[in-house]
């Protein structure tokens, strides 16, 4: 597990090879096993391909264009149990991280991309999302194009504190 | 990987058995391999034990009291690259999920608990957090007390849409 966590990289270049709905479904399943506030599971998922994917990319231009498919993770505020705490976003963030790991475990590349506030209304209209369901993040999924990035050293003990800020290990 | 993702459960009852700093450090390391917005890695971690842990529990009472230790994940806004998008919280959420999975992979129990807004000032003062560093979530870590919860069925195909809301699989 820790090896998979450490070797996951954000993938932004994809080969022109299809990714089936079963693959995407398995990735989404991993998302559904994320923890959520009060087990509210305040998430929805929209698989985007073809024309819908193209329209999404036109509305929110920060996304690598070469992925054959992607998963839009949406916060479902109608399921939130604790109003005003934005727990749907936290549920979706945990689900998104599970999905990135699951894609990697399946040998697929993926990346967490933001849905900008300026694009949210357009995406909502494009996909016909109902009230309370808001685009949260978009995960392009595909096969790697070229070598995977090297694993950098990310462990930084200066970010770990003990019992107080800059407190030393006992 | 998918098995570990599916068998992770939120653990709230712990045995009275110590968890060493090396264990916690390995869990935090997994957190540091989470993706972050523009690779900003806007996180800090405070390990809490003993008196500091007791004071934390007094300030933020939603946390299981039997854990021998815990990790306070803090959002470091001084590292945010995109102001106003609350990316530090997303970085921390991804890191938190990695940490829950890493704890589970090591046979330890853990749970994502909220730091309530009403407790944040007190926790900040208690730990001497500098400006821009905000408590985000607290993860008690320990050994399971009793059996782990069963794995529920969480996969719900009604939450998966294709190319539009309630669009069917092609």
Residue by residue, DSSP assigns B137-160 as EEEEEE-BSSPPPP------GGGE
CATH code for position A77: 3.40.109.10
Q: What is the pLDDT of residues B38-49, one digit of tens each?
A: 999 999 999 999
Who has greater pLDDT, B15 or A65?
B15
CB hemisphere CA count around B16 (13 angstroms): 0
Residues of chain A with pLDDT below 70 are none
Question: The dihedral of CA A49, A54, A57, A63: what is its sign?
Answer: positive
Q: What is the mean pLDDT of chain B?
A: 95
Q: What is the pLDDT of residues B101-111, one digit of tens each?
A: 999 999 999 99
Domain assignment present for residue B5? The answer is: no
pLDDT, position B80: 97
Mean pLDDT of B126-131: 98
Domain assignment present for residue B99? The answer is: yes
The verdict on B105 touching A (C-beta cutoff 8 Å) is yes
Q: From the list B2, B162, B165, which residue is nearest A130 (CB)?
A: B165
pLDDT, position A62: 84
Q: Residues 45 to 84 of A: which have CB under 8 A from any B CB?
A: 45-52
pLDDT, position B108: 97
The nearest alpha carbon in chain A to B38 belongs to: A113
The verdict on A168 touching B (C-beta cutoff 8 Å) is no
Domain assignment present for residue A123? The answer is: yes
Burial class (CB in 10 A: 0-12, 13-18, 19+), A136: buried
pLDDT, position B158: 97
pLDDT, position A100: 98
Domain assignment present for residue A170? The answer is: no
pLDDT at residue B69 greater than cutoff 80:
yes
CB hemisphere CA count around A56 (13 angstroms): 30
Contact criterion met (CB < 8 Å) for A164 and B52: yes
Domain assignment present for residue B1? The answer is: no
Domain assignment present for residue A46? The answer is: yes
pTM tops 0.95 = yes
Domain assignment present for residue A48? The answer is: yes
Domain assignment present for residue B161? The answer is: no
Residues A12, A17, A18, A23, Cα dihedral to 10°: -70
Contact criterion met (CB < 8 Å) for A159 and B37: no
CB B63 within 8 A of CB B126: no
Contact criterion met (CB < 8 Å) for A94 and B89: no
Q: What DSSP designation does B167 have? A: P
Number of domains chain A contains: 1
Contact criterion met (CB < 8 Å) for B159 and A21: no
pLDDT at residue B58 greater than cutoff 90:
yes
Q: From the list B33, B49, B85, which residue is nearest A5 (CB)?
A: B33
The verdict on A132 touching B (C-beta cutoff 8 Å) is no
Kindly provide the b/e burial profile for residues B66-98, where b requires at least 16 CB atoms within 10 angstroms of the residue's own CB: ebbbbbbbbbbbebbeeeeeebbbbbbbbbbbb
Contact criterion met (CB < 8 Å) for B127 and A85: no
Contact criterion met (CB < 8 Å) for A127 and B50: no
Q: From the list B101, B130, B160, which residue is nearest A28 (CB)?
A: B160
pLDDT, position A12: 93
Domain of B87? Answer: 12-145
pLDDT, position A134: 98
Mean pLDDT of B14-25: 96
pLDDT, position A2: 87
């Amino acid at each position: 597990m820790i090896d998979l966590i450490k070797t996951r990289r954000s993938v932004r270049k994809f080969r022109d090879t299809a990714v089936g709905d079963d693959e995407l479904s398995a990735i989404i399943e991993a998302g559904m096993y994320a923890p959520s506030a009060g087990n509210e599971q305040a998430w929805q998922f929209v698989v985007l391909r073809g024309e819908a994917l193209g329209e999404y990319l036109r509305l929110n231009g920060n996304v690598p264009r070469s992925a054959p498919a992607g998963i839009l993770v949406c916060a479902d505020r109608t399921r939130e149990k604790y109003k005003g705490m934005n727990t749907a976003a936290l549920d979706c963030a945990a689900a998104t991280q599970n999905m990135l790991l699951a894609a990697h475990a399946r040998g697929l590349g993926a990346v967490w991309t933001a849905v900008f506030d300026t694009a949210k209304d357009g995406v909502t209209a494009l996909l016909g999302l109902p009230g309370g369901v808001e685009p949260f993040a978009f995960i392009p999924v595909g096969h790697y194009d070229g070598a995977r990035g090297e694993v950098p050293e990310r462990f930084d003990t200066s970010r770990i504190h003990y019992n107080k800020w800059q407190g030393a290990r006992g």
